[in-house]
Amino acid sequence: MRKKVTIVGAGNVGATAAHWIAAKELADVVLIDVVEGVPQGKALDLLQAMPIEKRDCTILGTNDYADTAGSDVVVITAGIPRKPGMSRDDLLMTNFKIMSDVVGKVVAQSPDTIIIVVSNPLDAMAQAAFKAAGFPRERVIGMAGVLDSARFRTFIAEELQVSVENVTAFVLGGHGDTMVPLSRYSTMAGIPITELIAPERLKELETRTANGGAEIVKHLKTGSAYYAPSAAAVEMVEAILKDKKKILPCAAYLQGEYGISGLYVGVPCKLGSKGLEKIIEIKLTAEEQAALQKSADSVKELCTVIGVA
Ligand X SMILES: NC(=O)C1=CN([C@@H]2O[C@H](COP(=O)(O)OP(=O)(O)OC[C@H]3O[C@@H](n4cnc5c(N)ncnc54)[C@H](O)[C@@H]3O)[C@@H](O)[C@H]2O)C=CC1
Q: Min. distance of Cβ 121 from ligand X in angstroms?
A: 8
232 annotated among ligand-binding-site residues: no
| Site membership for ligand OAA, residue 213 (CB under 6 A) | yes
| Site membership for ligand X, residue 249 (CB under 6 A) | no
Q: Which of 144, 150, 210, 236 binds ligand X (CB under 6 A)?
A: 144
| Site membership for ligand OAA, residue 229 (CB under 6 A) | yes
**How is residue 219 annotated by DSSP?**
H
Strands (E), 90-203: 114-117, 140-142, 167-168, 171-172, 180-181, 187-188, 191-192
Q: Min. distance of Cβ 144 from ligand OAA in angstroms?
A: 7
> Which of 63/273 has CB closer to ligand X?
63
Q: Which of 78, 250, 267, 292 binds ligand X (CB under 6 A)?
A: 78
> Which of 109/119 has CB closer to ligand OAA?
119
**H or E stretch covering 28:** strand 28-32
Nearest one of 33, 128, 120, 116 to 82, comparing CA atoms: 120
3-state helix, strand, coil in the chain (%, to 5): 50, 20, 30
Helices (H), strands (E): how many in the chain? 10, 14
| Partner touching 217 among ligand X, ligand OAA, none, CB below 5 to 8 Å by kind | ligand OAA
**Side chain identity, residue 33:** D
Q: Are 233 and 118 in contact (CB under 8 A)?
A: yes
184 annotated among ligand-binding-site residues: no
Catalytic annotation, pick one of 131, 139, 153, 175: 175
| Site membership for ligand X, residue 275 (CB under 6 A) | no
**How is residue 216 annotated by DSSP?**
H
Spatial separation of the C-alpha atoms in residues 41 and 27, rounded to whole Å: 19
The β-bridge partners of 101 are none
Spatial separation of the C-alpha atoms in residues 50 and 46, rounded to whole Å: 7
| Site membership for ligand X, residue 98 (CB under 6 A) | yes
Binders of ligand OAA among residues 239 to 268 (CB under 6 A) are: none
| Partner touching 92 among ligand OAA, ligand X, none, CB below 5 to 8 Å by kind | none
Structural Rg of the chain based on CA atoms: 19
Q: Are 29 and 43 in contact (CB under 8 A)?
A: yes
Q: Min. distance of Cβ 166 from ligand X in angstroms?
A: 24
| Partner touching 11 among ligand X, ligand OAA, none, CB below 5 to 8 Å by kind | ligand X
Establish whether 175 is a catalytic residue.
yes
How many residues appear in the chain? 309
Nearest one of 126, 25, 6, 141 to 65, comparing CA atoms: 6
| Site membership for ligand X, residue 122 (CB under 6 A) | yes
The one segment of 25-33, 94-102, 189-197, 206-214 that binds ligand OAA by CB under 6 A: 206-214
For ligand OAA, the binding residues (CB under 6 A) are 81-82, 88, 120, 147, 175, 212-214, 216-217, 224-225, 229
Residue list for the binding site for NAD(+): 9-14, 33, 95, 118-120
Give catalytic residue positions: 175
For ligand X, the binding residues (CB under 6 A) are 8-14, 33-35, 38, 77-82, 91, 95, 98, 101-102, 118-120, 122, 143-144, 147, 175, 223-226, 229
